[in-house]
Protein backbone atom coordinates (compact mmCIF):
# COMPACT_ATOMS: atom_id res chain seq x y z
CA UNK A 1 0.00 0.00 0.00
CA UNK A 2 1.44 3.37 -0.95
CA UNK A 3 2.27 5.88 1.73
CA UNK A 4 0.11 9.00 1.65
CA UNK A 5 1.88 12.14 2.70
CA UNK A 6 0.37 15.51 3.55
CA UNK A 7 0.59 16.73 -0.06
CA UNK A 8 -1.36 13.74 -1.39
CA UNK A 9 -4.01 14.10 1.33
CA UNK A 10 -4.48 17.79 0.49
CA UNK A 11 -4.88 16.96 -3.21
CA UNK A 12 -7.46 14.27 -2.38
CA UNK A 13 -9.33 16.71 -0.12
CA UNK A 14 -9.42 19.34 -2.89
CA UNK A 15 -10.76 16.81 -5.39
CA UNK A 16 -13.48 15.68 -2.94
CA UNK A 17 -14.51 19.30 -2.28
CA UNK A 18 -14.68 19.96 -6.03
CA UNK A 19 -16.80 16.86 -6.62
CA UNK A 20 -19.28 17.22 -3.75
CA UNK A 21 -19.14 20.88 -2.73
CA UNK A 22 -18.68 22.34 0.72
CA UNK A 23 -22.37 22.34 1.67
CA UNK A 24 -22.89 18.72 0.75
CA UNK A 25 -19.76 17.63 2.62
CA UNK A 26 -21.03 19.33 5.78
CA UNK A 27 -24.39 17.63 5.44
CA UNK A 28 -22.76 14.25 4.80
CA UNK A 29 -20.52 14.70 7.85
CA UNK A 30 -23.52 15.51 10.03
CA UNK A 31 -25.45 12.50 8.76
CA UNK A 32 -22.44 10.27 9.34
CA UNK A 33 -22.17 11.55 12.91
CA UNK A 34 -25.87 10.90 13.55
CA UNK A 35 -25.52 7.41 12.11
CA UNK A 36 -22.59 6.61 14.37
CA UNK A 37 -24.51 7.95 17.38
CA UNK A 38 -27.55 5.80 16.57
CA UNK A 39 -25.30 2.78 16.06
CA UNK A 40 -23.74 3.27 19.50
CA UNK A 41 -27.17 3.68 21.10
CA UNK A 42 -28.24 0.45 19.44
CA UNK A 43 -25.20 -1.35 20.80
CA UNK A 44 -25.87 -0.03 24.30
CA UNK A 45 -29.50 -1.10 24.17
CA UNK A 46 -28.43 -4.58 23.05
CA UNK A 47 -26.07 -4.76 26.02
CA UNK A 48 -28.84 -3.77 28.42
CA UNK A 49 -31.16 -6.36 26.85
CA UNK A 50 -28.60 -9.07 27.56
CA UNK A 51 -28.37 -7.95 31.19
CA UNK A 52 -32.13 -8.28 31.58
CA UNK A 53 -32.56 -4.69 32.76
CA UNK A 54 -34.99 -3.68 30.04
CA UNK A 55 -37.05 -6.89 29.91
CA UNK A 56 -39.88 -5.19 31.78
CA UNK A 57 -39.81 -2.21 29.40
CA UNK A 58 -39.86 -4.55 26.41
CA UNK A 59 -42.93 -6.35 27.77
CA UNK A 60 -44.76 -3.05 28.22
CA UNK A 61 -43.95 -1.98 24.68
CA UNK A 62 -45.06 -5.29 23.22
CA UNK A 63 -48.41 -5.01 24.99
CA UNK A 64 -49.09 -1.63 23.38
CA UNK A 65 -48.07 -2.65 19.87
CA UNK A 66 -50.92 -5.13 19.16
CA UNK A 67 -53.60 -2.66 20.24
CA UNK A 68 -52.21 -0.03 17.89
CA UNK A 69 -51.97 -2.54 15.04
CA UNK A 70 -55.59 -3.70 15.52
CA UNK A 71 -57.01 -0.23 14.78
CA UNK A 72 -58.06 -0.04 11.13
CA UNK A 73 -56.54 2.67 9.02
CA UNK A 74 -59.05 5.23 7.83
CA UNK A 75 -58.92 5.25 4.05
CA UNK A 76 -61.18 7.43 1.98
CA UNK A 77 -62.62 6.11 -1.25
CA UNK A 78 -61.77 8.24 -4.29
CA UNK A 79 -64.65 10.52 -5.27
CA UNK A 80 -65.74 10.69 -8.88
CA UNK A 81 -66.46 14.15 -10.23
CA UNK A 82 -68.78 12.98 -13.05
Mean pLDDT of 12-39: 91
Q: Are 49 and 58 in contact (CB under 8 A)?
A: yes
Nearest to 25 by CA among 37, 17, 35, 33: 17
State the pLDDT at residue 82: 53
Q: In 40-64, which positions are buried (b, 16+ CB within 10 angstroms) versus exposed (e)?
A: eeeeeeeeeeeeeeeeeeeeeeeee
Instruction: Kindly tell me if the per-residue pLDDT of 15 is higher than 90.
Output: yes
Q: Are 35 and 43 in contact (CB under 8 A)?
A: no
Q: Looking at the whole model, is its pTM more than 0.75? A: no
Q: Are 48 and 54 in contact (CB under 8 A)?
A: yes
Quick: pLDDT tens for 27-63.
988 999 999 999 999 988 877 776 655 445 445 554 5
Instruction: Kindly tell me if the per-residue pLDDT of 66 is higher than 80.
Output: no
Amino acid sequence: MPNLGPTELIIILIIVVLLFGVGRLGRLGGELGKGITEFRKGLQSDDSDEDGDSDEASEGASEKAPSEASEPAAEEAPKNSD
